[in-house]
C-alpha cells in the first residue's frame, strides 16, 4: 500500500508538491473562517508531504506530517461535534463553536516544555541527521504540534504561535536558499496575522453576547 502511494507520488513528480502547497493554503484560509472542511485539505496536504518526506529521506518530517494527519481527523470530528452543540445544525458547512482562550500560566508552561524538549531532542537530531539548524528546526516542530492541537481545540492564541513559527520557518528557508518555500511561509505568516485578528474579533463578540 505504502509502496503504491510512493510510486504514485514519483509518477506525478512536482505536481504532488504543488498540490500539497495548494491544499495547505486552502486549509489555512478555511481555518481562519472556522470552516471544518479545512481539516480535509490539511489532511490531504500532510498525507502528500509525508510521502515526499519519505522519498527525500527525511524521517522526522515524515513522522511530523503523519501526526498532522491524525490531528486533522481529530480536528474535523471535534469541530463537527462542537458545531452541533451550539445548535447551528449538522448540515452547516462550517462550525460556529465558541472560541476559547488559555490563561497565560498555561502558555508559559507550554513554552517551557517546548524549550526543554528542544534542549533534549536537538542534540540527538544533530547527531543522527544532517540538520543545518537543529535547535530551530526542533523547536518549530514541537511548537507546530502544539499549535495544531490548539487550533483543533479552537484556542484563540494558536495564531500567535503560528506567527512565530512561520516567521522562524521563513528565516530558515531563506538561509537555506529555498526562496520558493520561504515565500509560502511568508503567505502563511500573513494568513496567521489575519487569523489572529479575525478570531479575536469573534471571541470578543462571543464575550459580549454571553454578558447580555
Give per-residue pLDDT as tens, 59-116: 666 778 888 899 999 999 988 887 634 334 333 444 457 899 999 999 999 999 999 9
Burial class of residue 192 in the structure, from the number of CB atoms within 10 Å of its CB (0-12 exposed, 13-18 middle, 19+ buried): buried
Residue 31: which residues within 8 A CB-CB, separation 6 or more?
38, 42, 151, 195
Q: What is the pLDDT of residue 87?
A: 36
Selection from 91-105, 167-181, 194-208 with the highest mean pLDDT: 194-208
Once rounded to an integer, what is the mean pLDDT over residues 119-139? 84
Supply φ then ψ for residue 86, to 5 degrees: -85, 0
CA 11 to chain centre: 27
Once rounded to an integer, what is the mean pLDDT over residues 142-166? 94
Burial class of residue 108 in the structure, from the number of CB atoms within 10 Å of its CB (0-12 exposed, 13-18 middle, 19+ buried): exposed
Mean of the per-residue pLDDT values for the chain? Answer: 83
Among residues 126, 123, 139, which one has the least CA distance to residue 172?
139
Amino acid at each position: 500500500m505504502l509502496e503504491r502511494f510512493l510510486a504514485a507520488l514519483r509518477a506525478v513528480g512536482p505536481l504532488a508538491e504543488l498540490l500539497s502547497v495548494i491544499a495547505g493554503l486552502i486549509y489555512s484560509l478555511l481555518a481562519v473562517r472556522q470552516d471544518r472542511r479545512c481539516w480535509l485539505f490539511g489532511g490531504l496536504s500532510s498525507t502528500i508531504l509525508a510521502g515526499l518526506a519519505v522519498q527525500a529521506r527525511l524521517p522526522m518530517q515524515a513522522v511530523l506530517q503523519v501526526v498532522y494527519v491524525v490531528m486533522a481527523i481529530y480536528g474535523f470530528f471535534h469541530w463537527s461535534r462542537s458545531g452541533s452543540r451550539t445548535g447551528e445544525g449538522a448540515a452547516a458547512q462550517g462550525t460556529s463553536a465558541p472560541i476559547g482562550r488559555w490563561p497565560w500560566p498555561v502558555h508559559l508552561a507550554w513554552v517551557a516544555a517546548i524549550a526543554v524538549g528542544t534542549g533534549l531532542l536537538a542534540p540527538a537530531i544533530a547527531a543522527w541527521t544532517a540538520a543545518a539548524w537543529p535547535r530551530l528546526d526542533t523547536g518549530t516542530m514541537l511548537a507546530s504540534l502544539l499549535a495544531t492541537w490548539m487550533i483543533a481545540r479552537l484556542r484563540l492564541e494558536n495564531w500567535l504561535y503560528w506567527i512565530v513559527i512561520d516567521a522562524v520557518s521563513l528565516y530558515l528557508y531563506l538561509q537555506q536558499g529555498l526562496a520558493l518555500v520561504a515565500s509560502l511561509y511568508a503567505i502563511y505568516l500573513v494568513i496567521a496575522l489575519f487569523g489572529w485578528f479575525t478570531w479575536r474579533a469573534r471571541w470578543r463578540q462571543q464575550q459580549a453576547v454571553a454578558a447580555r
